[in-house]
Amino acid sequence: MRYRALLRVILLVWVHVTLVCAAPRYPKAFIDLAQEFIAEKHVVGKGHQTLGQKLIIEAFVERGAAIIGMACALTKVRKTFLRLVGQLRNPDRYKAKNKKHNAKNNPKNHPIYNPIYNPKNNAKNNPIYAAIRKETARKRREETLRQNPNIADRVLTKEQIADQCELWLNSTDDRLVGRNGEVLTWRAAIVSGSFAIYFGTTMRKLEDEWLRWLTERGSDLPGKKKNRPVLRRMNGDFITMKEAEVELGFWCAEVGVGDILNHNCRGKEDYLQTHLTNATRDIDDDDKPHCRLGQQLHRCIGKGSIKQKENRIYRVFASVAPITKHHFDDRPIDVKRRKLIWLNGIQCQVVH
């Protein structure tokens, strides 16, 4: 019985669709009215119309509205009537226009309408659309924070964040020693290739967090993920925080001062990670840009949490380790994009 009822419904729908598709687009009386308009040699007129032309058109439109019997505005009836007059008066022109329109919107001919050729579905454009979504989310977050009168004056714009980061990049640190013994700025240290750097943000104590990115922190619960440390030993073992500080020579530096807004700190982290990625790009023999991933110890840019918590101080930090320059090798050694790097004389691997 259920199958019979389902077949009956399908049959009724098919009959209804067939009748609707077979029905003429306009009633016959409406078409006769348009032909009468043409036979009497009335002129529609483009642009300026005389008062006589307007009165004649309005009279035919009122008759057409009575024929259609639709409770709609006369504007819609007028538009339909004039379009029908044009089709009947110049059928070849309208056929060519429709053919051109169909060819333009045909998915086989137009890349925008074809999912296969749509730029949004092309993997090479993923970074472009990801950057657009990221910037849109940043602006929305900034507008939301500015609506709070208590913190509106503390919200930094994108330009202010860039100015603070540039000021910090031009500062020096006594621990940034170059190959000739000179003290380098952060900008020069990044370009020199003598240091491996990780930029991060935390709301906890800096001494407890500045090396936690090396650990496999996370949850084993369904739907949760664990951290995948970028820096590991050659046998694949993880490096503990104590080993990184004692054996590999890692040290920490705070970027600027703490802030109560995670939005500002995440903006600084994003800017510095982007600068580190772009500054460590080089040109090889084939003039193809590649990134010396051994120097940057972050996998992706700006992937931290953007949640704002009350009564917390957020800090941006840099975890730095010296690279033995003449042992540095930025060539991938397998398909997993592993790269060899010697930190403080100890061989490690960077897995992105």
What is the rounded CA–CA span in Å between residue 215 and residue 203?
Answer: 17
Judge whether residue 19 has pLDDT over 70.
no
Q: What was the pLDDT predicted at 342?
A: 85
Q: In this predicted model, what pLDDT tens digit does every residue of 20-56 receive, in sequence order?
A: 444 456 777 878 888 888 887 787 766 667 777 778 8
Judge whether residue 223 has pLDDT over 60.
yes
Quick one: pLDDT band at residue 291, thresholds 50, 70, 90?
very low
Judge whether residue 233 has pLDDT over 80.
yes
Residue of 221 and 235 predicted with greater confidence: 235
Residue of 70 and 218 predicted with greater confidence: 218
Quick one: pLDDT band at residue 245, thresholds 50, 70, 90?
very high
Q: What was the pLDDT predicted at 70?
A: 56
pTM: 0.62
What share of the chain in percent tops pLDDT 90? Answer: 17
Judge whether residue 110 has pLDDT over 80.
no
Q: In this predicted model, what pLDDT tens digit does every residue of 126-173 receive, in sequence order?
A: 777 788 888 888 888 888 888 888 888 899 999 999 999 999 999 999
Q: What was the pLDDT predicted at 269?
A: 92
Q: What was the pLDDT predicted at 219?
A: 64
What is the rounded CA–CA span in Å between residue 193 and residue 279?
Answer: 10
Q: Which two tokens stand for residue 197?
A: 């750097």
Q: In this predicted model, what pLDDT tens digit does every residue of 169-216 receive, in sequence order?
A: 999 999 998 888 899 999 998 888 788 899 999 988 888 889 988 888
Judge whether residue 243 has pLDDT over 80.
yes
What is the rounded CA–CA span in Å between residue 5 and residue 1?
Answer: 6
Judge whether residue 118 has pLDDT over 80.
no
Quick one: pLDDT band at residue 7, thresholds 50, 70, 90?
low
| Mean per-residue pLDDT over the chain, rounded | 78
Judge whether residue 335 has pLDDT over 50.
no
